[in-house]
Chain A
Amino acid sequence: MPQGDYIELHRKRHGYRLDHFERKRKKEAREVHKHSERAQKSLGIKGKMIAKKNYKEKVQMKRTLKMHEESSSRRKVDDEVQEGAVPAYLLDRETTTRAKILSNTIKQKRKEKAGKWEVPLPKVRPVAEDEMFKVLRSGKRKTKQWKRMVTKATFVGPGFTRKPPKYERFIRPSGLRFTKAHVTHPELKCTFNLEIIGVKKNPNGPMYTSLGVMTKGTIIEVNVSELGLVTPGGKVVWGKYAQVTNNPENDGCINAVLLV
C-alpha cells in the first residue's frame, strides 16, 4: 500500500497528466456556473441558506470595493478635543469642581433608601395572572380550583421545603427552578455564570417577589465572589444586584445584566 508522501513522489517522478492543467483550469472555470446553477435550482431551506451566504459575500465584496475606491469628496475631520478644554467664551472663568468621591456602597445604600434604581430595563411588559399561573383542579370530583402552578422560572432558596401538598396553594415545579444565571458585566462586556442568592423585586407585584418568580425585568441578587470585587474599605463584595433581560421560560436560562 502506498506509504509516506506517495502522491508527491509520483508527481515528482512522472509529472502531471498531459491535460492536467487544462482540465484543472476548465474545472475551476465551470465552478462558477455550477455555483450559480445550484443557487438557482435549490429549493426550500437549502435555497434560502445559499442565498443568505451569497448575500453576505456580496455585501463584503461591496464594502471592500468601496474602501478601495478613491473618493475625491472632502470629509469633515473632527480633531480630538482635549479633556478639560474649554471654548473661547468660557475662558477666564473659575470653574468650581465639586468632586466628592463617594464609595460605591454608600451610593447603593442611598439608592436603596430612596427606593429608586437606575436599571437597564425601566419598563417591562406586565404579565397577567392567567399567564403566570396555571389553574390546577383538585378534589375528589376535580371541582376545586384554588391551586395554582407557576409557569414561569422561579427561584427557591437552598433550604426550601414544600408545604404539605394538601395545603400548598402555589406550586413551583422543580423543572422550572433555576439556581444559576448568566450575568453580563456591562463595562467588561463579559458574561459569568453566577449563583442566584435571591429575588429582590419582581415588577409585576410583591406576590411574585415573595414567590420568587423571575420574569423579564426582575431584579435578582447574585453571588459575585468569583469576580473578585473589593470595596475601598477592603471588604470583599460577594453579592450584587442584576436585572433579568430575557424571558427565562422561553429560553431555558436566565440572562441578566449586572447593576453597577
Chain B
Amino acid sequence: MAQYDFKKITVVPTGNDLIDIVLSRTQRQTPTVIHKGNAISRVRQFYMRKVKFTETNFTDKLSKTIEDFPRVEDIHPFYGDLLHVLYNKDHYKLALGQLNTARNLIKRIREDYVKLLKYGDSLYRCKSLKRAALGRMCTVTKRIGPSLAYLEHVRQHMARLPSINTGAPTILICGCPNVGKSSFLNKITRADVEVQPYAFTTKSLFVGHTDYKYLRYQVIDTPGLLDRPLEDRNIIEMCSVTALVNLHAAILFFLDLSGSCGYSISQQAALFHSIKMMFRNNPVLIVCNKTDLQTLEGLSGEDLKLVMEMKSAALKTIPGQGGEAANDQDVLLTMSTITDEGVMAVKNAACQRLLDQRSERKMKSKKMPTVLNRFHVAMPKPRDQKERPVCIPQAVLEARAEEAAHEERKTEKDIENENGGAGVYSASLRKHYILADDDWKLDILPEFLDGHNVYDFIDPDILQRVEELEREETAVEEDGGDFEMEDEDFTAEAEKDLQEIRKRKKLLIQKHRIKKSTAESRPTVPRKFDKDRKFTTERMGRQLSSLGIDPSRAIERARSRSVSRKGRKRERSVGGDVLSQRPLGEVVPGEGFKDSAQKMKAVTMARNATKKRNKDARRGEADRVIPTLRPKHLFSGKRSIGKTDRR
C-alpha cells in the first residue's frame, strides 16, 4: 500500500573514493600536532582518537549505504521480484553482505588496535600502530571495491524505475510486441512513451496516471510478451511477467486484428492462453486494436472463433456474476489509437470493472461494517402532505431577466474571441481617442525628425508656444533690426590668423612658466642630451638679433665659458696678475691663518662649498623615491601556513 521511491538512496562512492574521503576527513578533523616530548598518555590518546575517528567514519558511510538499499524480503513482492529480475537477488544480497562484513572487520580492527595502543610506550610505536590500523581498514575497503561499484550501478538504475503505488487502482496493459500498448498509454495519460514501428521499443515498465470518476488510476505499460516457456524469457519479458503476477490490476490484453505487428491472431491467441494462469482474480478485458486497418466483423471465421475463445476465457474471470450477456460488452472491446475511436470507451470500461471489483472487495472486508456505521445520511421526515417547492423572490427574477437583456452589448472580450482569441487579436486602443478631428485617430506619429526625438518636443502647450514664436518672428521682421550674433562667420584667412595667435599665446605662457622657475632650480640641458646640436651660439645670435639686440658680446661670453676651450690655463697666465702667482699653501700675513695647514684646510673647505650643483636633471639621494609597492615575493606564491586571502 506504499509508494516506493528509490531515488532517495545516497550515492555509493567507489572504493578509492571512500578511502580518500575518510582519510582526508580524519586528517582535517582531528588534531594534527604531537611531539615526542609530550606525556605518553597524551600521545596515546592522540593516536587512539585518530583510529577511532577513522573507524567511525567508515562504519557510518557503510551503514548508510546498507540501510538505504531496500531489502528484497521486506518490500512488496512486486518490487522484490522486479529487483530479482533486473539485478539478480543473489548478487545484490551478496554485495550488501560484503559491505556488512567489511563494516564488522573494520570494527574489529579498531578494537584490536586501540587495545594495542594502550601498550604503546613511545611516539614511534604509537604512530606505527595507528598507521597499521588505518592501513588495514583501507585494505578492507579496497577489497570491497567491486561490490561498491556494482551497488552504485544498481542505485542509478533503481532511481529510474517507475514509482508504482501497489495499493492504488491499477490498469495493466499487456500483449504481443507492437500491438499498440504504448500508443494507448500516450492517449489516455500524459506519459510520453516512445512509440516506434519496431518490436521491443518499450524495454521496461512505464507508468501513467488517469482519472475516472474522481479517482486516480495508474496505468502500467509493459514490454511485449512472446509465446515462450517461462525459463526462456529474457529480462525485458520477465519485467512484464512480474507485473502481471504480483500486481492486483485490471488487465487489458491487446489484440492486433490486422496482424501488422508481425504476429497472426492465432499466435496472439496462443500467447493469451499461455499467460491466462497469471490473471487469477484480476478482471480481464480483451481489447482489439488497429480497427482502422481491420475491423472485428471483417475477420475470417477461424480468427473470429479464436477471439471468441479468448473472450469466453476472459468471461470466466468475472467472479460468479449472473447475467453474462450484460457484461459481454465489457469484456471484448474494439478501438483504434490512430483514429481515437473507442479509446475512451476502453478506458472507462476498464476503470469501471476495476472500480466494481474493488468496491465489492471492500464491502466484503471485515472493516466495512465499522466504516458503514459511521455513515448516516439524514433526510428530514415529512410531517404533512403539503408540497413545498422552491421559492425565488420576485426582485431576483427581475434582475436576472434584465441581465439577460443586457447581454446584447458587445464587450471587448467578445470582439477578441470573435477575431481569433487572446493571442491572435490585439485590440485597437486608438478607437477611443478624443481628438479635435476624428480623422487623425489612425494617423501614424513620426518618431524622429531632423535627428531629434519628436516626443521630446511634445508639450501640452506646444501649440501655444508655436503661436508665440510666430508672433515674435513677424514682429522682428517688421523691425528689420539686426540681432546680436554670437558666432561671427570668419573668412579662411581670419581663421588661420586666429589659430596662429592662439598658438603663440600658448607658447608664451609656457615660456613664462619656465622662466618663473629660477635658473638655480631648473635643470639646464647638458650637452650630451643635445644630440641635434640645436643649442648653438649661432642660434642664440640669430634669436637675439631677431629681437633687435646685438649678440656679439653674449656669444663671446658663452664661448669663453665653455669647457672645451683648450689652453685656458696658459691664457690666464699670460694675461694674469704676476702678483697673484703664489704657491697655494703660503700663508699671507694679513689673511689671519695660523699656519699653512690651516690655510690648506680653509682652501679645501672653500672649494667644497662652491662645488658645482648637479643640474643634470638626474635623481639624487635627496630626491623623492617611489619604491616598489608590490614586491613579488610578498604578492605571489603559496603560504605554508594560513590562507592567502589577504596579502
Using a CB–CB distance below 8 Å, which chain A residues touch chain B? 1-6, 9, 12, 41, 43, 45-47, 134, 151, 173, 175-176, 247, 249-253
Contacts and interface: CB of A to CB of B under 8 A. Distances in A.
Contact of A6 (B118, B124, B160): B160
A152 to B, nearest CB: 9
Interface string B193-222: 110000000011011000000000000000
5 contacts: A3-B160, A6-B160, A176-B116, A249-B119, A251-B132
From A41, A151, A249, name the one whose CB has the most chain B CB atoms within 10 angstroms.
A249
B357 interface: no
Given A3-B191, A176-B116, A249-B125, 4 more contacts: A3-B160, A3-B207, A250-B132, A253-B132
B30 interface: no
Tier of interface size on chain B: 20 to 34
Given A4-B203, A4-B206, A252 B133 contact: yes
A26 to B, nearest CB: 27
Contact of A175 (B24, B118, B133): B118
B115 A175 contact: yes
B80 interface: no
Contact of A252 (B112, B160, B206, B639): B112
A3 B116 contact: no
Interface in B1-47: 24, 27
Nearest to B133: A252
In the A-B complex, the 10 residue pairs with the closest CB atoms:
A250-B128, A3-B162, A251-B132, A175-B115, A252-B116, A252-B132, A4-B204, A250-B125, A252-B129, A252-B113
A251 to B, nearest CB: 5
A1 B163 contact: yes
From B119, B163, B192, name the one whose CB has the most chain A CB atoms within 10 angstroms.
B119
Interface of B: 24, 27, 112-113, 115-116, 118-119, 121, 124-125, 128-129, 132-133, 160-163, 191-194, 203-204, 206-207, 638-640
Given A2-B160, A5-B160, A173 B132 contact: no
B236 to A, nearest CB: 12
A171 B638 CA distance: 53
A151 B203 contact: no
A251 B639 contact: no
A51 to B, nearest CB: 12
Contacts of A45: 24, 27
B129 A251 contact: yes
B119 A4 contact: no
A43 B119 contact: no
A176 B163 CA distance: 55
Contacts of A6: 160
A41 B639 CA distance: 10
A41 B636 CA distance: 11
Contacts of A253: 132
A154 to B, nearest CB: 11
A47 to B, nearest CB: 8
A145 B382 CA distance: 111
Contacts of B638: 41, 43, 47
A57 B128 CA distance: 29
A150 B119 CA distance: 10
B125 A3 contact: no
A9 to B, nearest CB: 6
Nearest to B114: A175
A242 B204 CA distance: 59
Given A3-B160, A3-B161, A3-B162, A176 B129 contact: no
Contacts of A251: 128-129, 132
Contacts of B162: 3-4
Contact of B119 (A3, A12, A47, A175): A175
A41 B637 CA distance: 9
Given A3-B161, A4-B204, A250-B128, A175 B116 contact: yes
A250 B129 contact: yes
B20 to A, nearest CB: 8
A173 B116 CA distance: 10
A211 to B, nearest CB: 16
B55 to A, nearest CB: 14
Contacts of A249: 116, 119, 125
B160 to A, nearest CB: 6
